[in-house]
Amino acid sequence: MKELKVGIIGATGYGGLELIRFLHNHPEVEKLDLFTSSDEGAIFSSKFGHLLSIHDTALKKIDTETLSNFDVVFTSTPSGVTSKLLPPLVGVGPKLIDLSGDYRIKDLSEYEKWYKKDPAPEEIVNMSVYGLTEWNAKNIKNAKIIANPGCYPTAVLLSILPLIKERLIDPQFLIIDAKSGVSGAGNKPSQTTHYSEMNENFSIYKMNEHQHIPEIEQAIAMFADAKTTITFNTHLVPMTRGILATSYAPVTPGVTEEQLYNCLKETYKNHPFVRVVENVNSLGTNRVKGSNFCDICIKLDERTNRATIVGVIDNLVKGAAGQAIQNMNVQFNLPETMGLDVVPLFI
């Protein structure tokens, strides 16, 4: 019997649309309603034609009393918006899963520094649990508020945390060079994301200034017990979906490529969405397109004794909506893969 009543605030963003895509087929979702602060009454499929006959109902007004009857509410609004929008919903009933960056950074001054916005209320940030499912399931299970991880941090952390935790690589000289498809920039038009200027154009952006830097450093401290300042740069790839993060670090003397691989393999042996790939010389984002997988590979360069570690995800799925639903599954004691067990599109 279907049990869950689910609400989405911010359904018109790409994260929100992906939540709908997966929740539509989730066996335990009884009801799926979409909420808006500005566009009440609009028929959702008249805005997004691909949802014709799938979601033809009207957008509902955000209303605490209405939402109190839901089991879980996803907030998929931009950073700086959720910080104001979520607090009234805390404690009124539904589990809250936030896809923005507003509840991830525990140190509010760090949030302000990197996001250049006012932080969310401290007590709510403190209550929130970081939703990196494979590393925090125990806390996620009982969390009332989940701060769903950022897209880049998901690809980076899943690929490097095991190695840092086991001290197989040196986190003090960690260089992370990340590349993302354009959907990561959201659905709001801009000159940068104007088709003619983005197409056939690979670029670096926010050099050393991306707001996911403190999130990655915080998680390294939290899950691998290492304090470090990372070098982290981000690039835009002229494609819609996908993140590939290439990380570089010196390997602890004596450690072999086999040990590095085994560490990853062992860490994720019971985690169906993380696939450690062996013996590859190439790895691409099409392996995971449209799915909740994170594929990882590692190579040790014996000339330099440095490791190259690659993590690949679909930024909208494992990097956003998919992981959010995975966290919902954990919270409601459902199999982690429920509703998410789809085959990547490849092409």
Which residue in 248, 252, 259, 262 binds its own copies (CB under 8 A)?
248
Torsion of CA 320, 321, 325, 326, to 10 degrees: -40
**Euclidean distance between CA atoms 195 and 158, whole angstroms:** 32
Angle between helices 322-331 and 133-142 (to 10 degrees): 40
Tokens of 178: 């990340």
229 is an interface residue for its own copies by CB under 8 A = yes
Residue 73's H or E segment, with its range, is strand 72-75
Compare residues 146 and 220 and give the one whose CB is closer to its own copies: 220
Shortest CB 188 distance to its own copies, Å: 8
Compare residues 140 and 236 and give the one whose CB is closer to its own copies: 236
Burial class (CB in 10 A: 0-12, 13-18, 19+), 81: middle
253 is an interface residue for its own copies by CB under 8 A = no
295 is an interface residue for its own copies by CB under 8 A = yes
206 is an interface residue for its own copies by CB under 8 A = yes
Active site residue 294: no
The single residue listed with the structure tokens 């957008």 is 59
Interacting residues with its own copies between 119 and 148 (CB under 8 A): none
Q: If we measure between CA atoms, which residue out of 297, 311, 302, 217 comes closest to residue 260?
A: 297
Q: Contact at 8 Å (CB) between 92 and 69? A: no
Interacting residues with its own copies between 300 and 329 (CB under 8 A): 301, 303-304, 306, 308, 310, 316
Which residue in 63, 173, 225, 335 binds its own copies (CB under 8 A)?
173
Compare residues 20 and 330 and give the one whose CB is closer to its own copies: 20
Burial class (CB in 10 A: 0-12, 13-18, 19+), 308: middle
**Euclidean distance between CA atoms 70 and 105, whole angstroms:** 27
CB count, 10 Å around CB of 12?
Answer: 20
Write the CA distances from 63 to 71, 103, 335, integer angstroms. Answer: 15, 21, 31
Q: Contact at 8 Å (CB) between 132 and 165? A: no
Q: Contact at 8 Å (CB) between 153 and 294? A: no
Interacting residues with its own copies between 209 and 228 (CB under 8 A): 209
Which range binds its own copies by CB under 8 A, 73-81, 85-93, 144-152, 241-249?
241-249
347 is an interface residue for its own copies by CB under 8 A = yes
Which residue in 43, 221, 239, 262 binds its own copies (CB under 8 A)?
239
Which residue in 26, 104, 212, 287 binds its own copies (CB under 8 A)?
287
199 is an interface residue for its own copies by CB under 8 A = yes
344 is an interface residue for its own copies by CB under 8 A = yes
Which residue in 43, 60, 193, 218 binds its own copies (CB under 8 A)?
193
In this structure, the chain runs to a length of: 347
Interacting residues with its own copies between 259 and 278 (CB under 8 A): 272, 275, 277
Compare residues 54 and 167 and give the one whose CB is closer to its own copies: 54
Q: Contact at 8 Å (CB) between 328 and 95? A: yes
256 is an interface residue for its own copies by CB under 8 A = no
Which range binds its own copies by CB under 8 A, 20-28, 67-75, 112-120, 148-156?
20-28
Compare residues 65 and 200 and give the one whose CB is closer to its own copies: 200
Compare residues 107 and 123 and give the one whose CB is closer to its own copies: 107
Per rule CB under 8 A, count of chain residues that contact its own copies: 91
Shortest CB 48 distance to its own copies, Å: 7
Interacting residues with its own copies between 38 and 97 (CB under 8 A): 48-54
Residue type, 107: D
- Active site (catalytic) residues: 151
